[in-house]
Amino acid sequence: MAEERITLSVIKADVGGYVGHSSIHPALIDTAKERLSTAKEKGLIVDFHVLRCGDDLELIMTHKKGVDNSDIHELAWNTFVAATEVAKELKLYGAGQDLLSDAFSGNVKGMGPGVAEMEFVERKSEPVIVFMADKTSPGAWNLPLFRIFADPFNTAGLVIDPSMHGGFSFEVLDAKEGKTITLSCPEEMYDLLVLIGSPDRYMIRAVYRKSDNEIGAVASTQRLSYIAGKYVGKDDPVLIVRCQAGMPAVGEVLEGFSFPHLVEGWMRGSHQGPLMPVPFYEANPSRFDGPPRVIAAGFQLAQGRLVGPHDMFDDPSFDEVRRQANIVAEYMRRHGPFQPHRLPLEEMEYTTLPQVMERLKGRFKED
C-alpha cells in the first residue's frame, strides 16, 4: 500500500492593519478561524492554525490534496476576502491591500497572497517549523537557509550525521527573469553564494536532501512588486522547514536566525534593517515600522494534525540576538535617508524620483 501523503500549506496576506501597518485586529483572526474550522468540519482540510506576524494573516493548513490545489487556494482566498470585509467595517488600515484581483481564478499565486507548500509522507515523527516574517521580502530567507542547510559552522549534522553528510540541493529563483536553477552543496557552494548573496533578485525557493531527494524546506517567493508591475504592498514571506532525523535538528534550524542580518523592507519597504527573531506576542513592528520581525511556529504532525504551535523564539537564548538587532537598528537609523540604510533608487518601493527628475531636468548641465 502506498504511504499516505500529506500537504502542509502556509498561505498569507495582509488584508488590513491595526494600527497602521503594525499588527492585526483580533476580529480578523476570529473570522479566519471560523472559515477554516468550517472547512475542517467539511473534510476539505485535515487541520489548521491561524497566526499573525505584524500585519500579516497567516493560514497554516494540512490536507491531502497536494500543492497548488485550487480548492485549498480558493479556501484561503475566500478567507482573506471575508477578513477584508471585517477590516473594511472596522476601517482597518489598507483593508484588502494584498488581494490584487477581484475574483479568484484557480490559484492564489500571482494574485497577491504569499504561498509556501510542501507534500510528503509523514515520518515516524514529523517536527516542522513555520517561519513567518513581516516588513521584509522573500530574499530574507537566503542567509538563514544557507546557514541551516549548507554551513557546517551552523549545522553540526552536516559534518557528523551520516544521513545528512551528502549535503542538500537548493532550488533558486531568478525573480527578474522568472527562471529557476538547482545547485548542489557542498560542491557548488560558491556558485550558489554568487547568486543568493543578491537576495533582491535570487531567492531560495526549496531545499532537498540529496541522498533521497526528500524535501527539507520551501519558501514563498512571490514578489508583489513584480506581480503588479508597480509597488502595491509588501511581500512579507513565509518558510516551512522540516527538522530532525536526517534533516537539520530543531536547534540547528533556529541557530540559522542567531545573527540579525540586514534585510530589505522596514519603513515603506525601502530600507535595510536587521531581522529580529521574536516570540509571537512581540511581532508588532513599531519603531520606524520595524525593525523587520520573524516568528517561528513549531509543530509535530500526527496524521496531518498540527500539534502545536510552539513559540520557538520565546527563549532567553535569543535575547542577545534581539539586543544586537536593536543596536544595529539604531546604527542604521542614524543614516536617515542615506544608503545603505535607504535602498538604492531602483529597489525602493516608493519613489519620488520621476517627479523630482521631471522638475529638475532642465537644470542638469554637461560636466
Which chain residues interact with Mg ion by CB under 5 A? 14, 17, 21, 54-56, 94, 134, 234, 236
Distance in angstroms (rounded) separating the CA atoms of residues 208 and 186: 13
| Dihedral pair phi/psi, residue 80, rounded to 5° | -65, -35
Q: Is 191 a catalytic residue?
A: no
Residue 171: strand pairing partners: 182, 206
**Residue of 234, 235, 236, 289 with catalytic role:** 234
Which residues contribute to the site for ligand F6R (CB under 6 A)? 20-21, 94, 135, 234, 265, 267-269, 289
Q: Which of 81, 141, 94 is nearest to 289 (CA)?
A: 94
Q: Which does 216 bind (CB under 5 to 8 A by kind): Mg ion, ligand F6R, none?
A: none
Whether residue 169 contacts residue 183, with contact meaning beta carbons closer than 8 Å, is answered with: yes
When CB distances to ligand F6R are compared, the closest residue is: 289
Question: Rounded to the nearest whole angstrom, what is the least distance from the CB of residue 263 to ligand F6R in the complex?
Answer: 12
Distance in angstroms (rounded) separating the CA atoms of residues 230 and 24: 25
Q: Is 234 a catalytic residue?
A: yes
Question: Rounded to the nearest whole angstrom, what is the least distance from the CB of residue 334 to ligand F6R in the complex?
Answer: 19
Residue placing its CB nearer to ligand F6R in the complex, 17 or 144:
17
Distance in angstroms (rounded) separating the CA atoms of residues 208 and 215: 4
Q: What's the one-letter identity of residue 12?
A: K
Residue 173: strand pairing partners: 180, 203
Q: Which does 119 bind (CB under 5 to 8 A by kind): Mg ion, ligand F6R, none?
A: none
Question: Rounded to the nearest whole angstrom, what is the least distance from the CB of residue 234 to Mg ion in the complex?
Answer: 5
Q: Where on the phi/psi map is residue 288: left (φ > 0), alpha (ψ -120 to 50), or beta?
A: left
Q: Which does 56 bind (CB under 5 to 8 A by kind): Mg ion, ligand F6R, none?
A: Mg ion
**Residue of 33, 40, 109, 231 with catalytic role:** 231
Residue placing its CB nearer to ligand F6R in the complex, 35 or 135:
135
- b/e per residue 114-148 (b: at least 16 CB within 10 A): bbbbbbbebeeebbbbbbbbbbbbbbbbbbbbbbb
Residue placing its CB nearer to ligand F6R in the complex, 237 or 298:
237
Q: Is 30 a catalytic residue?
A: no
Question: Rounded to the nearest whole angstrom, what is the least distance from the CB of residue 98 to ligand F6R in the complex?
Answer: 11
Residue placing its CB nearer to ligand F6R in the complex, 139 or 256:
139
Question: Rounded to the nearest whole angstrom, what is the least distance from the CB of residue 95 to ligand F6R in the complex?
Answer: 12
Residue placing its CB nearer to ligand F6R in the complex, 210 or 261:
261
Distance in angstroms (rounded) separating the CA atoms of residues 10 and 150: 24
Active-site residue list: 14, 231, 234
